[in-house]
A = this chain, B = another copy of it.
């Protein structure tokens, strides 16, 4: 990785088109200087309300006044799989709602629209001042709960509030969202065009994907009224045009000290990379058994293959000697500054030593945490049953506690989301669950060791395969009614349950909670505290001139349509429909769906298909609109190029690129490939 443009690193002055900016702290001066553009308050209001967060990850945007939402096909995977139960395979074959009554409800999709941001740094700091370890965890939970409850104000069905840590603890803010839980499916293309090129092309460019799905938000069984939306530009952008990406970048780690990154790489990333790679192998072979099995494994495979590519990119950056030296030097400079005067030493203490200790604890606890608390030993990564069981067992126990003492997931403000998940009518595949659970239990035994007392307790005299068969055949949690019964019945019902998965969770939960508590007290809390101190020192030294690391909250990034150089050769910023037909081989994943094969003669080969920009984005931005100065949608973000993967740690404007679907191909294909004038008209007119 070239280190051009490495100055910012989450603090200091952002150069090039770097930065994922919060809407209350936009780099107006830089935008004006570089592009002659200053956003008006009206423009900012539009951007804030038209952009949406998909609660499970991803971004979406309102693109008509009647609740029409644009997001990625891969952000709709779960809905498409779930709706396919016993019917057509919508995930593979796409879905077209010819009329409004054909728009089916997605079981699990929830949209969040940002209502307001309130700075709560003073309150949070006051609550946690001088506290560390378990005491700090408790204090944080209490203040978060208090702030969130007061924000939701008794109406958790309508509002969602989250206390967000910004600048790694330099600032705290309360984000208030309006929730849309009735979200329906309007249109999805076939998987083979949405994800044309499949895993080989993923994170690559040139690219030819129609990675789009349209949802519609409903309120009271009617399309929601959404006057703030991005009007569709049927032409898309031109090379060099200024572009904005508005969305919810999930997580970056640019402001994190090297010691933390190094520990993450060695103690977490490398083992997890191996774990996911093996899981990918299992899913690959599982899916080859037949069409049904292929479908069952598809969603997990997509998520896992994507993660593996991301980790590959991360591992490359985290092994780059130049990058490491840069980070170490940056840390050393700040550290020296913090220790340079008695005043500073008294003010900051030695957060670096705290960090080292916390990382050592992380090393000791992490494998156990992953297996038991994160549930990797019970197929939490690729299955559903364990998660259902644990949610029910924990909810029963937590709901009886005062709000501020609960695990965050079960705070009153979050319960509607939890209940929503449990109500899902998504299918559960027993053979699939059993296979993956068997593999996971093997991992449990491998990672914790065959002589571990928990492993002994869980497996007894059984093999992972025997136990997984017993667990899957002995549970009824695949049935939403059974889950509802246990949810409604609370602690009593859960304790009386003879369900095998519930019993498994009851058996391991005391230790899982204990490991979680140890991890929170000995790793998370001291790390947070140290990071906060370091972030404050950085503010004291450098001022708050930059953007905070990404936190899956709404951010604006500015940039332009521009290619890059790959091994000395220029990569042009656009691909065209004509190129798609040239790339198609007829064999998966380069096989076009019939609809596109048939439509070839009707389509303009020069219609732009995908394009790249130098906007600074990261995972979570999937489904974000690319908009222009007028606030019109010109594209739909669905990926980054391979160089964007290092963006988790550092933005390199020379080759980090956002990859988007052009709005031109969206309009063209909705009209000519899918013959859906209803939707094409709504897109171009802005209303039903």
> Do the beta carbons of B200 and A446 come within 8 Å of each other?
yes
> Do the beta carbons of B588 and A463 come within 8 Å of each other?
yes
The complex places the Cα of A270 from the Cα of B270 at a distance, in Å, of 7
Partner of A461, one of B200, B446, B585: B585
> Do the beta carbons of B449 and A587 come within 8 Å of each other?
no
Partner of A200, one of B197, B288, B449, B589: B449
Question: Which residues 452-484 of A sit at the B interface, judged by CB distance below 8 A?
Answer: 459-463, 466
Instruction: Say yes or no for A315: interface residue by CB 8 A criterion.
Output: yes
Instruction: Say yes or no for A624: interface residue by CB 8 A criterion.
Output: no
Instruction: Say yes or no for A93: interface residue by CB 8 A criterion.
Output: no
The complex places the Cα of A449 from the Cα of B288 at a distance, in Å, of 23
Question: Which residues 429-461 of A sit at the B interface, judged by CB distance below 8 A?
Answer: 435, 439, 445-446, 449-451, 459-461
Partner of A266, one of B273, B319, B446: B319
Indicate with 1 or 0, residue by residue over A552-589, a CB within 8 angstroms of chain B CB atoms: 00000000000000000000000000000000011111
Copies per complex of this chain: 2
Partner of A273, one of B273, B283, B285, B435: B273
Q: Which residues of B contact A308 (CB under 8 A)?
A: 274
> Do the beta carbons of B277 and A587 come within 8 Å of each other?
no
In the complex, residue of chain B having the shortest beta-carbon distance to the beta carbon of A280: B278
Determine chain A's interface SS by DSSP, over half rule.
Answer: helix
Q: Which residues of B contact A288 (CB under 8 A)?
A: 435
Instruction: Say yes or no for A365: interface residue by CB 8 A criterion.
Output: no
Whole-angstrom distance between the Cβ of A296 and the nearest chain B Cβ = 13
> Do the beta carbons of B587 and A439 come within 8 Å of each other?
no
Q: Which residues of B contact A450 (CB under 8 A)?
A: 197, 200-201, 204, 590
Question: Which residues 257-285 of A sit at the B interface, judged by CB distance below 8 A?
Answer: 265-266, 270-271, 273-275, 277-285
Q: Which residues of B contact A539 (CB under 8 A)?
A: none
The complex places the Cα of A274 from the Cα of B313 at a distance, in Å, of 13
Given known contacts A204-B450, A277-B274, A319-B266, is B587 in contact with A285 (CB within 8 Å)?
A: no
Q: Which residues of B contact A312 (CB under 8 A)?
A: 271, 274
Where the two chains meet, the residues of A that have a C-beta atom closer than 8 Å to any C-beta of B are 197, 199-201, 204, 265-266, 270-271, 273-275, 277-286, 288-289, 308, 312, 315-316, 319, 435, 439, 445-446, 449-451, 459-463, 466, 585-590
12 contacts between A and B (CB under 8 A): A199-B446, A200-B445, A204-B450, A265-B319, A266-B319, A270-B273, A273-B274, A274-B274, A274-B277, A285-B285, A285-B435, A466-B587
